[in-house]
Amino acid sequence: MDYIAQLVLIAVGAAVINNFVLIYFVGICPFIGVSRRVDMAFGMGCAVTFVISIAGALSWFFTYYFLRASAPWATAIYHLCGGSGQSDLTILTYIVYIFVIASSVQLVEMYVRKFFPPLYKSFGVFLPLITTNCAILFACLEIMKNVAVPANTDPSQIWGLGESLTLAFFGGIGFTIAIVIMAGIREELDLCDVPKPLRGPGITLLIAGILAMAFMGFSGVNGSLDSMLKSAENNQPETTQPKQQVDDRQVDK
């Protein structure tokens, strides 16, 4: 149950409390560029979620087994070639992530072009722009932060595939929520009297700022959700370990 609780925390954290677009301000390019209509925005949200999940899973795989300090497969190869000590390939993380993201975006582009031609046309240049989208790299780096930890930390703290995939997928869901809300607002804005200098990206950025302030209201949910789920170990910095469980253990002994 602790595992599920941690997954729920990560999921809600990535989607709502620490929304990628509105709190960390990554992935703003498609957020402003594709949020004119709700159907296009939803399509872009789904594409980003798909890419971010694939990229997140692949980057976890490569980081866990190859790139981090004392990664099992890399260390094995290292010892095989006669090296001593641990292998540490963390210098490759950025390049490998960008490589993986670019390939997954290419795959998604081909898929969308074959099976959803009108969506492909309406995205235009924004679909390949997902490649340089900071939101995806941000998810991969968040995963790296929790996987490529220094060699002397507790192994149970290192994220497995479950946690990484949850963070990536729900980060994409959070992006979708934000972009669909913005699309809904922008569709209404078409009928409003917006001053000429602010039309288009100007008013969108202003509204994004106000939306970000609204989403900041979720930051208190973190602590109460945590204590509600009563998880003993989690990676959120603001939480405190509930004292009950520690006391129980001591009493048992």
Partner 1 sequence: MTWIIIAMAAGVMLALALIMTFVLGWANEAFHVAIDPRIEKVNEALPGANCGGCGYVGCGEYAEAVVLGEGKVPLDICPVGGEGVATAIAEILGMTLEKSYPYRPVVHCAAHTNDRLGRHEYRGEQTCATANLVAGVQGCIYGCLTLGDCVESCKFDAIHLIDGKITVDYEKCVGCGACEKVCPRKVISMVPFKDEQMFVLACSNQDFGKDVKSVCKIGCIGCKVCEKLSNGLFAMRGNLPHIDYDNYNPEGVDTLMDAVLDKCPAKSIVKIGKPSSADIEAVAGEDVPDIVKAKFETTVDKTEWHG
Binding site for partner 1 (CB under 8 A): 62, 66-67, 74, 77-78, 81-83, 87-89, 91-92, 95-96, 99-100, 103, 106-107, 110-111, 113-114, 117, 191-194, 196
- Compare residues 98 and 141 and give the one whose CB is closer to partner 1: 98
Q: Beta-carbon neighbour count of residue 102 at 10 Å?
A: 16
- Compare residues 1 and 191 and give the one whose CB is closer to partner 1: 191
Smallest separation, CB 70 to partner 1 (Å): 13
- Compare residues 124 and 223 and give the one whose CB is closer to partner 1: 124
- Compare residues 1 and 125 and give the one whose CB is closer to partner 1: 125
Smallest separation, CB 201 to partner 1 (Å): 18
Describe the crossing of helices 161-189 and 38-62 by its angle, rounded to 10 degrees: 160
Smallest separation, CB 195 to partner 1 (Å): 10
- Compare residues 81 and 151 and give the one whose CB is closer to partner 1: 81
Query: How far apart (Å, rounded) are the C-alpha atoms in residues 48 and 133?
Result: 9
- Compare residues 39 and 247 and give the one whose CB is closer to partner 1: 39
Query: How far apart (Å, rounded) are the C-alpha atoms in residues 134 and 14?
Result: 15
Smallest separation, CB 234 to partner 1 (Å): 32
Query: How far apart (Å, rounded) are the C-alpha atoms in residues 103 and 161?
Result: 20
Smallest separation, CB 132 to partner 1 (Å): 18
Q: Is residue 215 a contact partner of residue 46, using CB atoms and an 8 Å limit? A: no
Smallest separation, CB 133 to partner 1 (Å): 19
